[in-house]
Amino acid sequence: MDHFFTVLGGMGTAATESYLRLLNARTPAAKDQDYLDYLLVNHASVPDRTAYILDHRQPSFLPPLLQDIRQQSQLHPDFFVVVCNTAHYFYQALQAATPIPILHMPHLAVRHLSAQFPTAHRVGLIATQGSIADGVYAKEISATGREVVLGDAALQDAVSELIYTHIKQQGTVDAALYHQILARMQTEFQVDVTVLGCTELSLAQEKAPTHPYPVIDAQSLIVDLSLQLALAFRRDPAAGRALLAQLMAD
């Protein structure tokens, strides 16, 4: 393939499937050849990201991701997508290992938040404990002058139950629990918008989108950007490189 991109997934696999399902569904295709060219690395055996962030005595997820980046870089994709918010804890190290641009999902999500909700001040963040602890989203949101709202311990327990018990362990989305979490963020913690800072939460949004609460769905956004970039590279590689440079700019 002359122009393609690489998806680093498997963290977890169900969320990666959601990314691919949305990507293919949103691609304007009338025949096989209209779909996008991409490679999927579904590296499901990557150590748990949250476990390492909370306790560095646990196996690090950096070495296997570096291996993936270096292997895939030899194939010269146009760009990388990492379908895991928590994995962006090591974004700088991963980007330093390759000259090929890696889309920064949290950064792009918060940039989109500023454009879509310019008057939002209190921004809720729901994510894994690892994403909360690593501060990647909090730093991005705070840099825009907005207040980051995390809820309380009970809400975090509910988020963890939705992610780990229902989605990762049971392979199901508890729509009622997901909606309850969003309702608490808006009514009790009075947020203007809630950022879904975990790809399993994006899967919940895909499967249970019928609710009145404003959200920023980072994975859905990265699906749209992947599509825009891939189509741009297909039409005109120079245009694709220009768009990619714009997305990578601070």
Mean pLDDT of 31-53: 97
Count Cβ atoms below 10 Å from residue 163 Cβ, excluding itself. Answer: 24
Ordered by where they begin, the domains of the chain are 5-104+220-248 (3.40.50.1860), 106-217 (3.40.50.1860)
Q: State what percent of residues in the chain have pLDDT above 70.
A: 100
Q: Structure tokens of 234?
A: 């297909």
- Whether residue 250 is predicted with pLDDT greater than 80 in this model: the reply is no
Residues labelled as active-site residues:
84, 198
What pTM, to 2 d.p., does this model score?
Answer: 0.93
**Chain centroid offset of residue 198 CA:** 6
φ, ψ of residue 16 in degrees (nearest 5): -65, -40
CB-based contacts of 71, cutoff 8 Å, min separation 6:
none
Per-residue model confidence (pLDDT) at position 147: 97
Share of the chain above pLDDT 90, in %: 98
Instruction: Please state, as a whole number, how many other Cβ atoms lie within 10 Å of the Cβ of residue 88.
Output: 24
User: For 167-221, how does the pLDDT look when each residue is reduced to its tens digit (9 = 90+)?
Assistant: 999 999 999 999 999 999 999 999 999 999 999 999 999 999 999 999 999 999 9
Q: Residue 165: CB partners within 8 Å, gap ≥ 6?
A: none
Rounded to the nearest 10 degrees, the angle between the axes of helix 237-248 and helix 218-235 is 150
pLDDT-derived band at 98 (thresholds 50, 70, 90) equals very high
The strand pairing partners of 8, in sequence order, are 41, 82
CA distance 208 to 243: 32
C-alpha 142/C-alpha 110 separation (Å) is 10
What is the structure's pLDDT at 112? 95
Question: Residue 53: beta bridge partners?
Answer: none
Note the pLDDT of residue 81: 98
What element of type H or E holds 80? strand 80-82
**What is the mean predicted confidence (pLDDT) over 77-103?**
97
